[in-house]
Amino acid sequence: MSLVHPDIPRRHAVALSPQHVPWLIALAGFAAMFLPVYWTAAGNIWQTDDNGHGPIMLVVCLYLFWTRWRAIVDAPDEPAPRLGWPLFALGFCLYVFGRAFDISSVEFASQIPVVASMLLLLKGRPALRAAWFPVLYLVFMTPLPGSLVDALTGPLKQWISDIVESLLYSAGYPIARSGVILSIGQYQLLVADACSGLHSMFSLAALGTLFMYMMGRTSRVHNAIMLAAILPIAFIANIVRVIILVLITYHFGDEAGQGFLHGTAGVVLMLVALGILFALDAVLKLVLPGKRHASA
């Protein structure tokens, strides 16, 4: 018993150590900056289908930082103010600009330089290296800029419409296309912006990179192939979703198609995409064997 009791006050001493005060101040400052951003998003963009994944990404980011907390705190004390303060100034300017003009993508993007600068100022480059993945993963909390969405949505809809028409026509279905409008039998279906798959690609990229991080494959070739495959897989999965929607409409009517679109289309998309991603990882594990390492 005498070996256990001395550890108890020592644990409390560590928990209340003055070395944690700067961390508490930094976290309080971060909360003062970004809790209003989260609150605004909760009543605005996080209520939309395109950015409804935002709260989930927030929870995932908090979990990732929690898993790396001990490595961050135990990192050598090598503060880097020459890099940290300019990086913080960049993040703060982005934050102010985003708040002033109500640009959500800029507000959320400012988290990355702000968090990185906090690590550099408090602990230095070793802490930033320990938390590199959670810091970069903050990008998935950032809503896609409207200009980027507008620029990519049109071409994606055209490609998807063309591919779906070609595949179903080859399968013997009476289908034709005019722009992004598919005509099959007596029905016409518009490949809308949501069917472009841009936001689903972004969501799958978040899930895919998290999956790669948690699996901890050591093969660089394995990781490179997985990373390069995420967007094509999302594109293929979205084609599958549109094909299913068209077939349901053709065989069961417009009401069934609309019900599917608003009900289970997104679930089908993610299940197909994740299934392909997991299968690819399993195949690469057999072809490119490598040891796993602990990611946390």
Q: Could you write out the three-class secondary structure of 197-238?
A: CHHHHHHHHHHHHHHHHHHCECCHHHHHHHHHHHHHHHHHHH
Give yes or no for a contact between 102 and 149, defined as CB atoms under 8 angstroms apart: no
User: Which pair of tokens denotes residue 286?
Assistant: 């057999």
Give the pLDDT confidence score for residue 10 in this predicted structure.
46
User: Considering the entire predicted model, what is its pTM?
Assistant: 0.79
Cβ contact 122:22 at 8 Å: yes
CA nearest neighbour of 71 among 30, 20, 123, 117: 123
Q: How confident is the model at residue 49 (pLDDT cuts 50, 70, 90)?
A: confident
How sure is the predictor about 196, in pLDDT bands with cuts at 50, 70 and 90? low
- Position with higher pLDDT, 132 vs 178: 132
Q: Is the pLDDT confidence value at 7 over 50? A: no
Query: Hey, where are the domains in the chain?
Result: 7-143, 147-287
Q: Which amino acid is at 90?
A: L
Out of 153-167, 197-211, 256-270, 276-290, pick the least confident.
256-270
Q: How far apart are CA 219 and CA 47, in angstroms?
A: 39
DSSP codes, 117-146: HHHHHHTBHHHHHHTHHHHHHGGGGSPPPH
Which of 75-89, 108-122, 168-182 has the lowest average pLDDT?
168-182
Helices (H), the chain: 7-15, 21-42, 54-73, 81-101, 104-109, 111-122, 125-130, 132-137, 146-170, 198-215, 220-252, 254-263, 265-287
3-state secondary structure of 161: helix
What local confidence, expressed as pLDDT, does residue 27 receive?
Answer: 93
> Dihedral of CA 116/120/123/127: which sign?
positive
First-to-final CA distance of the chain: 33
Evaluate if residue 85 carries a pLDDT over 50. Answer: yes
Give the pairing type, strands 175-178 and 187-190: unpaired
**Distance separating alpha carbons of residues 246 and 187, to the nearest angstrom:** 9
**Which amino acid, residue 252?**
F
Asked whether residue 296 carries a pLDDT value surpassing 50, the answer given is no
| Residues identified as active-site | 195, 241
Position with higher pLDDT, 69 vs 17: 69
DSSP-derived 3-state class of residue 49: coil
HSE at residue 175, side-chain half, CA atoms within 13 A, is 24
pLDDT for position 12:
41
pLDDT one-digit tens code per residue, 203-228: 888 888 998 898 888 888 888 998 88
